[in-house]
């Protein structure tokens, strides 16, 4: 599974429960139309998950790296957020991810995250976005390089 297919799996899970707005991957300010946005803003790889496997062959050891578990931090945001449709879509999306935290036959897990106001302000400020209503989540799973 690639990073793109993992994020698409999140969007597909949201589309089954959110009918108020289309679900897209991206920043809320980049959407020309109203949408429920899955905005990935940070990804990290677990170093503990990348253990080298050294098989012994007749010619010596051949290094093969295992695929590392990846964590993607993302915001679920409606654009525009503070109208009735946006609020309903954001709430339905938040509940959909909390109620169905396992995707792709157990290869992906979604976890609700809590960020401080300082962390949120820093993220939004560095992205040149006004601070807005959002639901922060973590997406954990095995993501392979393409």
Please tell me the pTM assigned to this model.
Answer: 0.80
Specify the higher pLDDT residue, 58 or 36: 36
Out of 19-23, 34-38, 47-51, least confident range: 47-51
Query: What is the pLDDT averaged over residues 52-75?
Result: 61
Domain definitions of the chain by residue range: 3-48+66-142
Model confidence at 45, pLDDT cuts 50, 70, 90, reads confident
Closest CA to 10 of 79, 74, 80: 74
* 15 touches 57 (CB < 8 A): no
Residues 131 and 98: their CA atoms lie apart, in Å, by 23
Q: Which fold has domain 3-48+66-142?
A: STM4215-like (3.30.2000)
Retrieve residue 102's tokens.
């396992």
The per-residue pLDDT for range 110-140, each reduced to its tens digit, is: 999 999 999 999 999 999 998 889 999 999 9
Q: Give the mean pLDDT of 82-87.
A: 85
pLDDT-based confidence at 33, cuts 50/70/90?
confident
pLDDT at 144: 58
> What pLDDT score does 59 carry?
52
Q: Name, of 16-20, 67-71, 77-81, the range with top average pLDDT.
A: 16-20
Tokens of 111: 């976890």
In angstroms, how far is CA 134 from the centroid of its own chain? 13
What pLDDT shows up at residue 145? 52
């Amino acid at each position: 599974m690639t990073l793109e297919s993992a994020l698409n799996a999140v969007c597909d899970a949201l589309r089954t429960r959110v009918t108020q707005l289309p679900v897209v991957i991206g920043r809320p300010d980049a959407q020309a139309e109203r949408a429920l946005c899955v905005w990935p803003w940070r990804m990290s790889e677990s170093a503990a998950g990348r253990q080298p496997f050294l098989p012994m062959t007749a010619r010596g050891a051949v290094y093969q790296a295992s695929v590392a578990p990846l964590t993607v931090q993302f915001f679920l945001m409606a654009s525009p957020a503070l109208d009735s449709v946006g609020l309903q879509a954001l709430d339905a999306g938040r509940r959909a991810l909390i109620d169905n935290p396992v995707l792709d036959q157990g290869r992906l897990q979604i976890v609700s995250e809590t960020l401080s106001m300082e962390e949120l302000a820093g993220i939004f400020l560095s992205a040149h976005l006004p601070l807005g209503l959002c639901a922060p989540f973590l997406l954990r799973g095995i993501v392979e390089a393409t």
